[in-house]
Amino acid sequence: MTTTNRVMLVDGMALLFRAFYATAMSNYYMINSKGIPTNGVYGMMKHLFTAIETYQPTHVICCWDMGSKTFRNDLFPDYKANRGAPPEELIPQFDLAKEVVESLGIPNVGQAGYEADDCMGTLSREYSEHSQVFLLTGDQDLLQLLKPNVHVVLLKKGYGNYAEYHEESFTEEKGITPQQMIDLKALMGDTSDNYPGVKGIGEKTALKLLLKYETIEGILENIEELTKGQRSKIQENLDMLHLSRKLAAIHCKADVNCSLEEALFYINDEKMRAKFDELEFKNWEKNIVRM
């Protein structure tokens, strides 16, 4: 199906965090005359405009986490409990980033109780029916959303470096389908999101089992064929396996919507200039937007 719409869904948190830490490592926070640090927002804009220049979307939407607690914490209180509080120089930049995105005429989307991933999943399902969708993120979890018309663009080090995935390239590289990624994470767990999966089963074993049995159900139906060690690990951690799968799956039915009319990418130069100047962004015409 050929479509003229190219919709870019942006993982706001991923861009902001990446940009913040890239300069925070050297204590460069770009504090303006009002005492507000702007390094994360400045770098986020650079990531955003570089990607827009590369992928030429017709529509852009920015998705956000809304608070640190989600339905996943209700299922598993230790979900992401390993993450410390954000640095104090980053905290004022959360709202600032949304303000700047708004000044560009780009809708900010999020729902309390859900992560940005869930919002991106929900919207990508809707738009991919009639448009080409690009998910801009640093988070490999979004690879499970790949399908015809949905591409994942993973940020790599620096600006303008991406690993772009579509359904076929993912399966060629990983050997499994995007959908199987959920079961892969359920088996091996996820240290960054702080859930264990099946203790003692790593990526190598999990991949081997999925290549042979396709799904967790397939593995459980053929559990007698597994080695004694694999069998006992899975049986001892069965509840956690099922719970981990719920935690790993992106929830594509969040209560978010945004019409394509709202998301049409058109920048009011005057509004953008006023916002960038208000924040005292230096050399932005050269570094962020090629005017």
Q: Which residue has the tokens 């994942």?
A: 152
What pTM does this model have? 0.94
- Asked whether the beta carbons of 189 and 227 are under 8 A apart, the reply is no
Q: What residue type is assigned to position 180 of the chain?
A: Q
For residue 23, is pLDDT > 90? no
Q: State phi, psi for 202 to the nearest 5 degrees.
A: -100, -175
Q: Coil, strand or helix: which one is 123?
A: helix
- CA proximity to 288, closest of 37, 7, 49: 49
pLDDT of residue 3: 58
Provide CB contacts within 8 A for 121, sequence distance 6+: 142, 145, 250, 251, 252, 254
Q: Is 37 helix (H, G, I), strand (E, B) or coil?
A: strand
Q: What is the pLDDT of residue 1?
A: 44
10 bridge partner residues: 62, 136
> Which domains, from first to last, does the chain contain?
6-174+252-287 (3.40.50.1010), 180-248 (1.10.150.20)
Q: What would the pLDDT profile of 54-113 be if each residue is shown by its tens digit?
A: 999 999 999 999 988 899 999 999 999 888 888 999 999 999 999 999 999 999 999 999
Q: What is the mean pLDDT of residues 227-231?
A: 95
**Dist. CA 102–CA 274, nearest whole Å:** 13
Quote the percentage of the chain above a pLDDT of 70.
98
Give the tens place of pLDDT for each residue, 118-168: 999 999 999 999 999 999 999 999 999 999 999 999 999 989 999 999 999
Q: Which of the two residues, 26 and 245, has the higher pLDDT score? A: 245
Residue 236 pLDDT exceeds 50:
yes
Alpha-carbon span 123 to 257, nearest angstrom: 7
Contact call for residues 11 and 124 (beta carbons, < 8 A):
no
Segment 166-211, tens digit of pLDDT: 999 999 998 999 999 999 999 999 999 999 999 999 999 999 999 9
